[in-house]
A and B are shown apart, each in its own frame.
Chain A
């Protein structure tokens, strides 16, 4: 057994897996990783099943130390500088921490969420099939709250296994695909405003919801509906006409009309959208969204097959520096303004 010690954690660092499903009928929010592809990528690199519990990092940095035994890790998702003591570790690349070595992750440079996967997973006790942290409901394991400095996570000692890498997928410039509804008929012509508009994500966003800034989307019949069920990706429009996209820590029901829903295949990419960068939505049919879901499932399934064995990998400093240049060419997330406290986007 090894231990991963949290030496310095940003406020949005928490254990997450696929989430907690089956009790939304009792008001239990699903939680779970904001970007499932990144979670599955990090897990594949250390030989885990795709949705094994890992450590999700928000835009802030974090530092960990290995104790008692070696620990195999990999980081995927938002790009950031990763160092093991004096070595540089690329994104999408497994490595083994020796006892006493420090893993230092900087704030995100491109994207928002990264996943630190550990060979064998984070060990804990599942509630409703998940270790994901839901602090309000007192759920999450090994601790029912975001990680804090000094926390110790029990993990398995690294096995004899080669390190692996996955070529990062190129960032997609495509619009975020949505299925209109369930309440698009509350909006009339404003559906066009929503689809034609250029949107940015507000810095006052969190794991419950992403607030959008852009043209005002007007309701035809007022902004109160009788509460009904929500899903990950529901786009609700409150009275000010600025939509909020509900994310995995959402309330299970909500009383604002929902103009559209981000499709499952695009939700992780949407979650990684940095505040302030303009993007658009594109309406697709349910049948198209289903084809995208099939393709996304295939992408997840094929991750292990795409991995490269890098037993004799030399850290490629030139390639790394190029990646860093690409990362710095876009506006970095202002980590200081990203929300660490829950917003009040939903009411009973």
Chain B
């Protein structure tokens, strides 16, 4: 436990942001500390901080250099980071439907073969864990999940695809994730969710928060089509339960 209380590194990111880095690797404890610091800053805002961006291993803190300087901000962040980390970061748990394989996940069969699994066994291992939203980034709603079964670790594709479909659920390295809008990706595409993690005309616009937990469950193509239509009209087709 001693390692948990090592102070983070304070790394300048220009004159209007600092990176509070807890680890250089993907590290579950580090991510918990990131999310805990983020939550402390939300509960007791420091004047001059404009927004925060939690990631796997660090918290990017944007600030207004006209309101606060690094020398006064850094010690306050270090002090907050030393506070004990509570276990539950948020109290929200989601159930997210995923259509695996076929046109919804064109890499499923190849990935199963590479890992020496049947497609069904791969789906079973991918739907078993309780994941945590470690970070959201890159494009709107792209949710990076921690908790992937280590037996599913696989290097990214040599050639990234220039366009992968909206709602794609994929794996890359030790990570798995849910993307919302179409975009480039070098990850392996296992399936597709009808859930929109970002939808402009809906309240909330962003469905998931960093720190939320979720599990994935398999649906067939017909159910996907029905849920997709409902989601198109603003329905939240994920189930929310207090954990």
CB of A299 within 8 Å of the partner chain: no
Cβ contacts under 8 Å, A43 to chain B? none
Cβ contacts under 8 Å, A293 to chain B? 15-16, 65-66
Query: Chain B nearest CB: distance from A253 CB in Å?
Result: 3
CB of B213 within 8 Å of the partner chain: no
Cβ contacts under 8 Å, B25 to chain A? 226
If A252-B53, A258-B13 touch, whether A229 touches B58 (CB-CB below 8 Å) is yes
Cβ contacts under 8 Å, B186 to chain A? 347-348
Contact with A along B15-30 (1 / 0, CB 8 A): 1111101001110000
CB of A339 within 8 Å of the partner chain: no
A261 touches B135 (CB 8 A): no
CB of A307 within 8 Å of the partner chain: no
Considering the chains assembled together, what is the distance between the CA atoms of A263 and B58 in angstroms?
21
CB of A312 within 8 Å of the partner chain: no
Which of A17-25, A69-77, A165-173, A327-335 lies at the binding interface? Answer: A17-25
CB of A126 within 8 Å of the partner chain: no
Q: Is the interface of A mostly helix, strand, loop or mixed?
A: mixed
B142 touches A263 (CB 8 A): no
Q: How many residues of B contact A (CB 8 A)?
A: 56
Identify which of B15, B55, B177 gathers the most chain A CB atoms within 10 Å of its CB.
Answer: B15
CB of B185 within 8 Å of the partner chain: yes
Cβ < 8 Å to A, chain B residues 191-243: 198, 200, 205-206, 210
B138 touches A181 (CB 8 A): no
Considering the chains assembled together, what is the distance between the CA atoms of A346 and B137 in angstroms?
11
CB of B97 within 8 Å of the partner chain: no
Considering the chains assembled together, what is the distance between the CA atoms of A178 and B185 in angstroms?
30
CB of B7 within 8 Å of the partner chain: no
Cβ < 8 Å to B, chain A residues 301-325: none
Query: Chain A nearest CB: distance from B19 CB in Å?
Result: 4
A138 touches B52 (CB 8 A): no
CB of A264 within 8 Å of the partner chain: yes
CB of A337 within 8 Å of the partner chain: no
Cβ < 8 Å to A, chain B residues 143-186: 144, 160, 162, 172, 177, 179, 181, 183-186
B13 touches A252 (CB 8 A): no
- Which of A181, A230, A263 contacts B11, CB < 8 Å? A181
**Interchain Cβ contacts under 8 Å between A and B, 13 examples:** A21-B51, A25-B136, A26-B140, A26-B205, A181-B12, A225-B24, A229-B59, A230-B60, A251-B138, A264-B65, A286-B15, A293-B66, A344-B184
Given contact pairs A137-B140, A179-B13, A348-B144, a sample of 16 additional A-B residue pairs in the complex whose CB atoms are under 8 Å apart: A22-B50, A24-B62, A27-B142, A182-B12, A228-B21, A228-B55, A231-B16, A252-B53, A252-B137, A253-B138, A264-B14, A264-B16, A290-B70, A347-B138, A347-B184, A348-B179
Q: Interface on A for B, CB 8 Å cutoff? A: 21-29, 127, 136-139, 178-183, 225-231, 233-234, 251-254, 258, 261-265, 286-287, 289-290, 292-294, 297, 344, 346-348
